[in-house]
Structure 1
Amino acid sequence: MDIKYIRSQFPILDQQVNGKKLVYLDSAATSQKPLRVIEALEKYYKEYNSNVHRGVHTLGTRATDGYEGAREKIRKFINASSMEEIIFTRGTTTALNTVATSYARETLKSGDEIVITYMEHHSNIIPWQQVAKKTGATLKYLPLQEDGSISLEEARNTITSNTKIVSIMHVSNVLGVINPIKELTEIAHQNGAIMVVDGAQSTPHMKIDVQDLNCDFFAFSGHKMCGPTGIGVLYGKKQLLEKMEPVEFGGEMIDFVELQDSTWKELPWKFEAGTPIIAGAIGLGAAIDFLEEIGLDNINAHDQKLAKYASERMAEIEGLKIYGPKERTGLVTFTMDDVHPHDVATVLDAEGIAVRAGHHCAQPLMKWLKVSATARASFYLYNTEDEIDQLVNGLIKTKEYFSNVF
């Protein structure tokens, strides 16, 4: 990878924060946007801003082509079998809620089981809690190993013939663990359950093939993979989506409206009520072009190399504890002695270094880790080993500062 070229495509990186060169290590929360995406958004609003599908004028046709063209790019990007299986949403959260509301609430009953893990993001916990309350189903948690990984043996013991839904994140936003989704899907299907995958943290970093994974639903967000905020994707197998009812109603998703009843458009539009996220979809399409130009395999190798280097360098700091397995994606989550993670992040910010601190929308996992909060440095295709060295130097300064204070 030509890191110099890549960094040149992200204008936000060329600035100072608190008088120091910006070191952005918070891509797991949201990635930065390359010029190609920014320019695609600008071009849409400057040259062919219009609503889609409904009009026959030139601008409307161009907007429709851009919007539906992005859908086809996404289909190819994750190797879905049909454009009908690609639903645009506001993000991973909306996508998972759509499955919980439209599929699970209408399908599950008392005695059925939903299986998730302790490592899930809140957006993959709370919807299933609500489903369980509404349907009488039981929400079960798949135990984690000591390093936070999943044991397939434990999965076979936890997922039973009563299990109807298994919903697990592909990559943990806290531990960086890569879960064996293909094998877990096989176990779920052997027991008659469907597999739902939160792909928010995997899709930006590695090549996704939903047909190879054989999952039934797969959700991800554009803003974590160089795309705009407010745009996400729900992939679902066609035979499941066809049986599901829309969760929003109004314009665009209808076929015919009578006085007392209405009928819906075919897939994927029956799930996209109202004016869709046109600019967001076009921007996400541009982001996919950029990522594929760099190569997902290259990005994955780069991110894992940085995570390994960061883990090794940070382990040299006495009193710093790293959470998660050795094999991880591009992030390192940690605590430092008795210094609160928010204080760590504040001192690092004074050095121009942006990291995330808190519970990372994973409070059950924090409880499992026996901490209230952690700090997290997350890496992406534009980060370098020099930036990790700056992070390590900043952490040493943080440790020295609080040693003097206390």
Structure 2
Amino acid sequence: MKSGTRLQLSVMMFLEFFIWGSWFVTLGTFLAKNLQASGLETASVFSTQSYGAIIAPFIVGMIADKYFNAEKILGILHLLGAALMFQMYRAESVSVFYPYVFAYMVLYMPTLALVNSVSFRQMNNPEKEFSTIRVWGTIGWIIAGLTISYVFHWDSTAGTEAGALKNTFAMGAVASLLLGLFSFTLPKTPPVKDKTQKDSIAEILGLDAIKLLSNRNFLVFFISSILICIPLAFYYQNAHHFLEQTGLENPTGKMAIGQVSEALFILLIPVFFSRFGFKKTIMIGMIAWAVRYLLFAYGNAGPLAFMLITGIALHGICYDFFFVSGQIYTDQQAGEKYKSAAQGLVTLATYGVGMLIGFWVAGIISDYYTTHATDNFWQKVWMIPSVIAAVVWLLFMATFRDSKREVVA
């Protein structure tokens, strides 16, 4: 790959995830502090990510792959996203904010696939080259968090009380505008499919891979993937607001430790796979969720602050050892015929169905403990996903059999 192309793709990845990290991490606190949202209203806003994940394959599969260059669609989506993000910045109530964030996530989620498409098409050896490009996305997310905490101090106690977190949307809008314009300078990435070719809805959503569920082990993994996304949703929806209310200084910057951990632990997956196998590797990821929430339940911003920091740092194990390992396992089990469809099916099940259920469960739990005034509010909230993760871990341990590859014909 030419050095100029590598630089272009790295900047693209940096901005793609800088945009997401600039507002999504602090969203729960913004909704509670700025818009006085209830638990269910917060769940409704976070659920737009799941709706976007469900709709995204149609945009990519039915439009991007057939009619237009990927880099041009990427540019248009981010320019539209910048306008929507600016309206999110101006919104003063959940009812006004919701339609804009819904439309934004429907447009943003397809860009996650598009930046990958643009990158892969420029590579001769994606297995070796992609990670060095994708890591700039993680760096972008980290820089966004550090900027919020240590440059602008929008998440400080004074900042949240003054409503400064709405400025994160202005920052995201500027970054989206930049990436929208920059996308038109990216290497040309024309459609790969004949526009006369008709794809069924089942094919677009990855439902053609449903045959894989006849494999008992894959079925167990599939169901476990949906269930483990319930405690995952608690983290996305509640973690920042929890850390801010607990009194931890610069919570957004400290949450970036999770992305640093993610970048480091992904390098250890091949070691764990070869030494312990898939089952034990993925079980480490599952139990890490239960441990993380226990640390959140009993930690504080004082002498036990190390428990909160450790819980954040466990993100690398939680995410990489389950989701990245799961993607590798899915690829191994699917065989050539179902590789793409299987990945699409698992993505739909996790980020679509599983996370959607999780966001609503988290909202219901938050509203319940808010209505039934109780001491140790956050301790009670965090115990729920900890127990769920532990139960999923036990079910997976009891029902999944570590075996050789079983490819469906």
> Do they fold alike, i.e. is TM over 0.5?
no
What TM-score do the two structures reach when normalised by structure 1?
Answer: 0.24
Judging by fraction of residues, say which structure has more helix: 2
Query: Which structure carries more relative contact order (alpha carbon 8 Å, separation 6+)?
Result: 2
The two structures have a TM-score, normalised by structure 2, of: 0.24
